[in-house]
Amino acid sequence: MSLTSIDLSPIFLTLKLAGLTTVVLLLVGTPVSWWLSRTQRRWKPAVEAVVALPLVLPPTVLGFYLLLAFGPQGWIGAPWQQLTGSALSFTFTGLVIASVLYSLPFVVQPLQGTFEAIGHKPLEAAACLRASPVDAFFSICVPMAVRGYVTAAVLGFAHTLGEFGVVLMVGGSIPGKTLVLSISIYEHVESLDYATAHALSAGLLAFSFVVLLAVYVVNRRFRYRIA
């Protein structure tokens, strides 16, 4: 089986999904992890536990509940339908939302750790130099948290790349829209086309390894430069 005869659209779709999901994850994960790193409230552990749920739950559990929630009567699907006039299940948008929930702990946890390590001292210093909290956050915290952001982005991206169970449940395997790489591999395995499955799997394996390796190398460099 040569690579040229394999349909590559799932690969591009997967990269697009992982990329977009990562962007949304960073946007959503930043305030959540920031809040978690600062708050002393009693229900902080509850929020932390909810965010961490995808780490322990089988993806099918999340996928099943998302399938219910995305439905026309579901608590996400119904308002979404009202707002946009279109459904969430079996759409690329639906996959992005599902992936964001699914990969949230992989972004929130490293960011929260980074923000906690930065502590309140640099922000107090900034506040006493005429910087508003938002200003201080972007001028001090974000640049200081670069390593955390790189780690979070890569983990979120890589985790979304490999996502299977959730996509299987809410995706509907539509070529070009929701047929991502992991599903495509699964279908090739199921239809006993092991050669193609192998080619795609090996590709995904190698790609994931290279991405992670790059991060660890960059992180190392970065640490030395700061020190």
Partner 1 sequence: MTALTTRIQLPREGFYFSVDLEAVASGITAVFGPSGSGKTTLLHCISGLERGATGFVGFGERVWHDSAQRIFVPPHRRDIAMVFQEPRLFQHLNVNANLNYGLKRTPPTGRRIAANKVIDLLGIGGLLARKPASLSLGEQQRVAIGRALLASPRLLLMDEPLASLDIRRKREILPFLRKLPAEFDIPVIYVSHAISELYQLADWVVLLNEGKVVAQGGIRDVFSRLDLFDYLEEQTGAVLETRVLGHEPEYELTLLGVDDEKLYIPKRDIRVGEALRIYVLASNVSLAIALPQAPTSVLNILEGRVLEVGRPNEKRHSLLVKVDIAGQALLARITQKSLANLALVPGMKVYAYIKAVSLDEHLV
Partner 2 sequence: MWHNLSMRMVVFFLLCVNSATVVASDVHAGVAANFATTFKVLKSRFEMETGYTIIESRGSSGKLYAQIRQGAPFDVFLSADAALPLRLENEGLAVKGSRFSYALGRLVLWSATDKNVAHGEAVLRRGAFRHLALANPKIAPYGAAAKQALVTMDLWEIVQGNVVYGENVAQTYQFVATANAELGFVALAQVLSKSNAAATRVWEVPQTYYQPIRQDAVVLNRAKHNRAATQFMRFLKQPAVREVIEQTGYGVP
Can you give the binding site for partner 2, defined by CB under 8 A?
A: 64, 67-68, 70-74, 77, 87, 89-90, 168-170, 172-174, 178, 183, 186-187, 189-192
Among 139, 209, 212, 216, binds partner 1 (CB under 8 A): 139
Q: Please list, in sequence order, all residues whose beta carbon lies within 8 angstroms of the beta carbon of residue 57, skipping any fewer than 6 positions away.
A: none
Of 176, 208, 161, 178, the C-alpha closest to 7 is: 176
Among 133, 194, 206, 210, binds partner 1 (CB under 8 A): 133
Angle at 58 between CA 55 and CA 153, to 5 degrees: 40
Q: Which option in partner 1, partner 2, none does residue 166 bind, with CB closer than 5 to 8 A by kind?
A: none
Q: Please list, in sequence order, all residues whose beta carbon lies within 8 angstroms of the beta carbon of residue 185, skipping any fewer than 6 positions away.
A: 197, 200, 201, 204
Supply the minimum distance, in Å, between the C-beta of residue 115 and partner 1.
15
Q: Which option in partner 2, partner 1, none does residue 219 bind, with CB closer than 5 to 8 A by kind?
A: none
Of 182, 181, 179, 188, the C-alpha closest to 165 is: 182
Of 107, 104, 113, 110, the C-alpha closest to 51 is: 104
Judged by CB under 8 A, which stretch of 7-15, 47-55, 106-114, 129-137 contacts partner 1?
129-137
Residues that bind partner 1 (CB under 8 A): 121-122, 124-133, 135-136, 139-140, 143-144, 146, 226-227
